[in-house]
Structure 1
């Protein structure tokens, strides 16, 4: 199947300042691509380049098999939902949604039909005669999405559409957008700095830092096998534990030594690590560290740890200890007996471990 969007060797610069560097991304029809990264990483600039709102410095952009590199935005067969909603304040909801069709000369009957379909999908039928000022933030966002839906484009582009909403409404709208994607089977490109949004919405994620692609993959690949230290730290809440350690090969596998303040090092034995350099960064998600007795298996190793802090979080309790001068967070069950200042035996699931190079930051296993 040919990609619906194919970005090849894309560069974007403002004078001597490089914003995007050698971007290569391709997505299939029906994909939900999320561009994620910290502020200033270039994700919104990349979206604007796809839309044609920003000219590119080098490379090419194909949409639906056609080279759109130098094609104007109106001829790219895209629809965009902006962070600021960008609704016409003097027009009713109905007119905001149908305005684009009217400008393109779509007949009145088709306008009414599409308006009715979209209003039903987004559950905004009762708001069609209101103006944007009479709507809540979530309702305005639905109207902005409705205006895009009536286009029936090859590509939907979303530029941080939920960032103006409160936390509860963000979760609700996120679910609505995901349902909409499943129902329509549409191809979407979505920009966010929120890694939870990225993980829950995407079929494919592009992680950006400083205008450079760090990793492209499914949410599962990005989360479970981060390509480097940046992705490991950025994707996940709480973040992956990243602990300096020493690796020493022995007959039965690899001995992993982690310094411990005021005592002998924590020693773990990994039978699947393979060849590792002596100096490594050990990466383990908080949920892969459990209280002794709550995790079993051939890859589970136990070690005594001194607890620094206990943070109840409803269904889970986050327990923070310190290894090698680095804080380590474990996600334990709500009824844990952990107390600050006391020692506790924790179980480390080395079947889920990631190893990184301290020098390059790249994944080793």
Structure 2
């Protein structure tokens, strides 16, 4: 069975400036693909190429097994939800949702049935008589989604649909979009610069930087096994700690030496990775540096660390220290005894550690 979306060797240039470089990505029917990266990385340009709003400079693009490289947007069987909602201000919600069907000549009875069904799904039945100016941002976004849903397309495209909403409403709408995807089983491509949105919504994530794909994988793969330093630093909140260290082979394991601001280096023994170069960047998530009683992994190793800053955060407390010349964050429990300016025993889970080559930034293990 063909992928619902298959992008092959896609390039996009604006004159002499290349903005997308050899993009290869595919998704199966029912996947939720999220394109994520910082501003200017090319994710929205790639979405526009998929939609047909931007011509591509090289490569091929297939939707539902059909080559759509040079096909008009209206003939690609897609529906798009924009950041700006793009609603007609003089039309009611009902007319905004059904307008596309009316233009395509769908009979009124079918229009009404689809309108009722989608309005119930999005819980906007009471808004159908209003105009966009009378709606909140979240309500407008639901209407924009409703207009896409009545199309029943092969592929839904979302261009940063939540970026105009406040933080609380973003979380609520994120949950609604996730529930909607699970209910419909629809195929979706979603652009965001918010890595939390990417992690919570996606079945597959594409991390981009400078028009180049850095890594493709499930949220768990991206989080636990970042392909390079950029992905490690970009995906996760707080970000992965990236600590310069020395790796020295020792018997059946490797001694990992990490410089401390206040004395002799910390020495940890990694029995899983025995073929590391001497200079490495050790990547460890904040939750994998924890109170010894909380971290029960068989690969846990305890070290004394000087805590510089303690940040209570409700269910957790974050402790910041200097290791390898970098600020390193540990995620401790709310009742931790850690105090700023004091030494604290912390457990490092060597079973979860990533190693990167300092010069290239590529993953080693």
TM-score (norm 2): 0.99
* Residues in 2 aligned to 1:295 and 1:194: alpha-carbon distance in whole angstroms: 29
* Residues in 2 aligned to 1:56 and 1:316: alpha-carbon distance in whole angstroms: 47
* 1:136 alignment partner in structure 2: 136
* 1:202 alignment partner in structure 2: 202
Alignment map for 1:117-128 (pairs within 5 Å): 117-128=117-128
Alignment map for 1:139-158 (pairs within 5 Å): 139-158=139-158
Offset at residue 131 of structure 1 (A): 0.1
* Residues in 1 aligned to 2:190 and 2:163: alpha-carbon distance in whole angstroms: 12
* 1:51 alignment partner in structure 2: 51
* Residues in 1 aligned to 2:116 and 2:25: alpha-carbon distance in whole angstroms: 36
State the SS of the aligned residue for 2:335: coil
Alignment map for 1:155-170 (pairs within 5 Å): 155-170=155-170
Alignment map for 1:225-304 (pairs within 5 Å): 225-304=225-304
* 1:112 alignment partner in structure 2: 112
* Residues in 2 aligned to 1:167 and 1:67: alpha-carbon distance in whole angstroms: 39
Answer yes or no: is 1:33 the counterpart of 2:40: no
Gaps spanning 5+ residues in structure 2: where?
A: none
Please tell me whether the aligned partners of residues 252 and 274 of structure 2 are also in contact (alpha carbons under 8 angstroms): no
**RMSD of aligned C-alpha atoms?**
0.6
Deviations 1:293-318 (A, max 9, x none): 32223311111100010000000000
Deviations 1:172-228 (A, max 9, x none): 000100010011110000000000000000000000000000000000000000000
* Residues in 2 aligned to 1:336 and 1:96: alpha-carbon distance in whole angstroms: 54
Offset at residue 274 of structure 1 (A): 2.4
* 1:334 alignment partner in structure 2: 334
State the SS of the aligned residue for 2:94: helix
* 1:86 alignment partner in structure 2: 86
State the SS of the aligned residue for 2:351: helix
* Residues in 2 aligned to 1:360 and 1:352: alpha-carbon distance in whole angstroms: 21
Offset at residue 110 of structure 1 (A): 0.4
* Residues in 2 aligned to 1:295 and 1:314: alpha-carbon distance in whole angstroms: 19
Gaps spanning 5+ residues in structure 1: where?
A: none
* Residues in 2 aligned to 1:45 and 1:265: alpha-carbon distance in whole angstroms: 47
* Residues in 2 aligned to 1:38 and 1:181: alpha-carbon distance in whole angstroms: 25
Deviations 1:28-67 (A, max 9, x none): 0000000000000000000000000000000010000000
* 2:177 alignment partner in structure 1: 177
* 1:361 alignment partner in structure 2: 361
Offset at residue 292 of structure 1 (A): 2.4
State the SS of the aligned residue for 2:183: helix
TM-score (norm 1): 0.99
* Residues in 2 aligned to 1:29 and 1:331: alpha-carbon distance in whole angstroms: 38
Extract structure 1 runs of 4+ deviating beyond 6 A. Answer: none
* 2:23 alignment partner in structure 1: 23
Offset at residue 2 of structure 1 (A): 1.6
* Residues in 2 aligned to 1:144 and 1:262: alpha-carbon distance in whole angstroms: 56
Please tell me whether the aligned partners of residues 21 and 212 of structure 2 are also in contact (alpha carbons under 8 angstroms): yes
- Number of paired residues? 365
Please tell me whether the aligned partners of residues 262 and 306 of structure 2 are also in contact (alpha carbons under 8 angstroms): no
* 2:312 alignment partner in structure 1: 312
* Residues in 1 aligned to 2:311 and 2:54: alpha-carbon distance in whole angstroms: 45
